[in-house]
Structure 1
C-alpha cells in the first residue's frame, strides 16, 4: 500500500511538470511569432517610407531612386539617376552669345558706340539707341539715317527666334500742348511702335515683337542736366531669353 500510494504521488507530480513545460513552450512560440510579425511590419514601413521619399524627391526634380529598403541613416549608398544638362538652354545661350558678338562687331565697325550701346543682361541682349540716331527732338518719325542701321540690326536679330521687346523712353520735359503727343508717355510709345514697324518691314516676324512706352518714368540717370536728359531719351531693343519670355 505504501509503494502504490508513492507511485501515484510520483505520477501526479510528473504530469503537472509536463503541463508546465508545454505551457512555457507555447508562450515562447507566441512571443517569437509576434516578434517576427513586428519585425516584418518594421521592414515594410521602412520600404514604404523609402518609396515615399523617392517619389517626393523625384517630383522635385532631383531624380533620386531608393528601392533597397535601407532604413534612413544607413551607410549603404543610395543609387541615383544621372542628371542631364538641358541641351536646348545651352544652344540658346550659344546663339545669344553669337548674336551679341555680331551686334558688337557691327557697332564697332561702323563707329556707332557713341550712339548705340550693348548689354548682355539676365533678361536678354539689350541694344540701346540714343534719341539722336533715330529721332529729332520731340518727334516719333524715324530719321533717314536710321534705316540702314535698323536694317543691319534686323538681319542680326533674325538669326534667333527669341521674342523682342522694343521700349521707348523720354526725359521729363513736358510736351508742348501744340505738339502731336499729349504726353511723354505717348511719345515714347509712338517711337517704340515705329521702331517695331521698321524692324517688321526688314523681315523680323511681327508675332515675335511687342512695344511699350515708359515715358519719363524709367530714367537711367537723374534728369538734372541737359546731358542727363539726353541720355534718358532712348529706345531699347531687347532680345529676350526664352525663360524670361515665358514668365512675362
Structure 2
C-alpha cells in the first residue's frame, strides 16, 4: 500500500516571477535608425545648399514656380550664374567663392593644353638632339666619313635640326656646274639616310650655290636650276640609304640667295646642301600655310624670299 500512495501523489509546479523591467522588444532600434537617417539627410541637404551657386538656386526656384516655361525657354540663373558668393564650392573649406563650373573646366583645359604644348616642344627638341648625336656618332665611327667632319655642320634652328654639307676647295660634293654626286658624298648621304630612316619627322632639302653665274644664266640653265638639281640628287641618295621617300616634304633650290659667307660670294663654303629635320610647327607652316602660327623668337633672323625652280634635266650644263 505504501508503494501505491507514492504513485498517486500530485505533482506541484511552482512558477517564480522575477522582478525588474519588462521586455519592450526591438522597436527602439527602428526609431534610432530613422533618427540617424534623418540627421544624415539633413546634413547632406545643408552641404548641397552650401555648394550650390546663387544662380542655380534661383534656377531651381524658377523651375518649381513655372516648370514648363523654364523647360521650354530657359531662364536666367538656371546654371548660368557668374555671381560670386563667399564660401561654398565643391569643398566647404574653400574661400574662393562660387564660380561657374564650365568656366573652371575651360580654364583647366586651357592651362592643360598650354602645358601639353610646351611638353611636346621639349620632347621634340630632345628627340632632335638625339638625332644630332646619332649622326655625329655614325660619322665618328666610319673612318672614311670622319675625314669629312670639317664639311658637316649640325645646328638647331627654329625649323628643327639642320644638317649642312658644305664644299671645300679640294673636296667638292659635285663637279663644277654638275649635279652628279661624288662617291664620297654619295656614301655620306646614304649613311645619313639610314639614320633618318628611323625618324618620323618630315624633311626639307635645300640646294645652295655660290654667286658665280653661268655665262647665259638669265635665259638658260642657271644657278637656280643647278641648286634644285643638286638638292634632288641628294634626295635620291638619302632614299637609297634607306630613308622612305615620303619623309621628304620639300625640295628646293635657293641658288646664291642665302650665302654663308656674304663677304666672299665665290667661297666654296657657299656651295652646300642643307637637310632640315623639321619640327611639328615647321611642318604645319608648310602643310597649312593659312593657319595661324606662333611668332618666331626675336633672335631668329627672318628668312629672305627665295625662288624655287623645278629641276631641269634635259640640258647638260657647261663645265665651270
Q: Which has the higher contact order (CA 8 A, sep 6+)?
A: 1
Return the match for 1:195 from 220, 234, 238.
Answer: 234
- Unpaired runs of 5+ residues, structure 2, are 1-53, 59-76, 86-97, 287-320
Aligned Cα RMSD in Å?
3.2
Question: Is 1:243 paired with 2:275?
Answer: no
Structure 1 residues 61-80: aligned runs within 5 Å: 61-62=110-111
| 1:48-70 Cα deviation digits (max 9, x unpaired) | 993275366356x126xxxxxxx
Cα distance 1:150–1:46, how it changes in 2: closer, same or farther (>3 A)?
Answer: same
Give the 3-state SS of the residue equivalent to 2:164 in structure 1.
strand
Cα distance 1:233–1:85, how it changes in 2: closer, same or farther (>3 A)?
Answer: closer
Q: Tell me the equivalent position of 2:50.
A: none
Q: Tell me the equivalent position of 2:257.
A: 217
Contact 2:210 2:265 in 1 (8 A): no
Larger of the two Rg values belongs to structure = 2
Contact 1:95 1:160 in 2 (8 A): no
Contact 2:192 2:241 in 1 (8 A): no
CA distance in 1, matches of 2:265, 2:253: 22
Contact 1:115 1:133 in 2 (8 A): no
Q: CA deviation at 1:123?
A: 1.5
Structure 1 residues 55-134: aligned runs within 5 Å: 57-58=107-108, 61-62=110-111, 89=121, 91-109=123-141, 110-131=146-167, 132-134=171-173
| 1:90-148 Cα deviation digits (max 9, x unpaired) | 55434322211111223344132221111122311111111344212221111122221
- Unpaired runs of 5+ residues, structure 1, are 1-36, 64-82
Contact 1:171 1:223 in 2 (8 A): no
Q: Tell me the equivalent position of 2:310.
A: none
TM-score, reference length from structure 1: 0.64
Contact 1:190 1:213 in 2 (8 A): yes
TM-score, reference length from structure 2: 0.51
Return the match for 2:189 from 150, 158, 179.
Answer: 150
Cα distance 1:138–1:93, how it changes in 2: closer, same or farther (>3 A)?
Answer: same
Give the 3-state SS of the residue equivalent to 1:172 in structure 2.
coil
Question: Is 1:50 paired with 2:99?
Answer: yes
Give the 3-state SS of the residue equivalent to 1:50 in structure 2.
coil
